[in-house]
Structure 1
Amino acid sequence: MGFLTDSTHAHIATWVVAIVIFLIAALMGKQSKGLHMTLRLFYILIIITGGALFFQYQTNDPMLYGLKFLGGILVIGMMEMVLVRQKKNKPTGLFWILFAVFLFITLFLGFKLPIGLHFLA
């Protein structure tokens, strides 16, 4: 499983693709059934790659890595809630806000942690 934990590239690639697919599916509305299924596959890939990184590096700072893991799960949950509620013609405003907040927190923690990218360092 070294290819999953040698660097964060696989994990970053999966969540970037998932966010792009999510935004396209959200813009398409009810016609996005195939994209929604593809997005669910990427949820699994994100959890696998993130879980591998979590178990490899959590000894450095277990609390922050745990919070980032929880934040990632919440982001995935909000993405799913937006798409499902959109298909049922229910309001999604709160879930969009929660998605943005959890995504910001998760990205902040991901870039702050030792294996994250350091833009200013």
Structure 2
Amino acid sequence: MGILTDSTHLHITTWVIALVLFLVAAFMDRNSKGRKITHMILRLFYVLVIITGLALFIEHSSFDAMQYGLKFLFGILTIGMMEMVLVRSKKQKPTTLFWGLFVVFLFVTMFFGFKLPVGINFLANL
């Protein structure tokens, strides 16, 4: 698992690309073929984010199992809200609640990610 767990670079790269793809898909015309293609590529990146995150979790959870577990849980919830926003907007159903939950879960996930020992410590004073 060396390439997956040596650093967080691969995991960060996958979730940044996933966020960009999500925002692109979310603001495309809901019936366009480009949105459907972008959404399918985004689903591939969901899998990559989960695989790289799971590898980091398995390798490093012994540092602080509770925080790593919470980060993993909120990461899965973030991906779930991304998918809910796209699917519900395609069906022309309200998405305001899911956008709000997405923002909250993303913030909590990033907070835990930056606070953990293996992550980049932007929040050194917190």
**Paired residue for 2:63, among 36, 60, 64?**
60
Counterpart mapping for 1:1-121 below 5 A: 1-30=1-30, 31=32, 32-119=35-122, 121=124
Question: 1:35-82 CA distances to partner (integer Å, 9 max, x unpaired)?
Answer: 000000000000000000000000110000000000000000000000
Q: Could you say what the CA RMSD is over the residues aligned between the two structures, in angstroms? A: 0.9
Q: Is the 8 A contact 1:71 1:102 kept in 2?
A: yes
TM-score, normalised to structure 1, is 0.98
Q: Distance in 2 between matches of 1:120 and 1:64?
A: 15
TM-score by length of 2: 0.94
Structure 2 CA distance for partners of 1:120 and 1:47, relative to 1, 3 Å: closer
Percent identity among equivalent residues?
A: 68
Structure 1 consecutive aligned stretches of length 4 or more whose deviation exceeds 4 Å: none
Q: Distance in 2 between matches of 1:49 and 1:96?
A: 25
Q: Distance in 1 between matches of 2:61 and 2:83?
A: 27
5+ residue gaps, structure 1, are: none
Q: 1:24: how far off?
A: 0.4
Residue 120 of structure 1: how far off its partner (Å): 5.8
Aligned equivalents of 1:120, 1:5: Cα separation in 2: 22
Equivalent pair of 1:29/1:86 in contact (CA under 8 Å) = no
Question: How far apart in 2 are the matches of 1:61 and 1:120?
Answer: 17
1:29 Cα offset (Å): 3.4
Distance 1:65 1:119 in 2: 17
SS at structure 1 position matched to 2:100: helix
SS in 2 for 1:28: coil
Quote the Cα distance in structure 1 between the aligned partners of 2:48 and 2:28.
Answer: 23
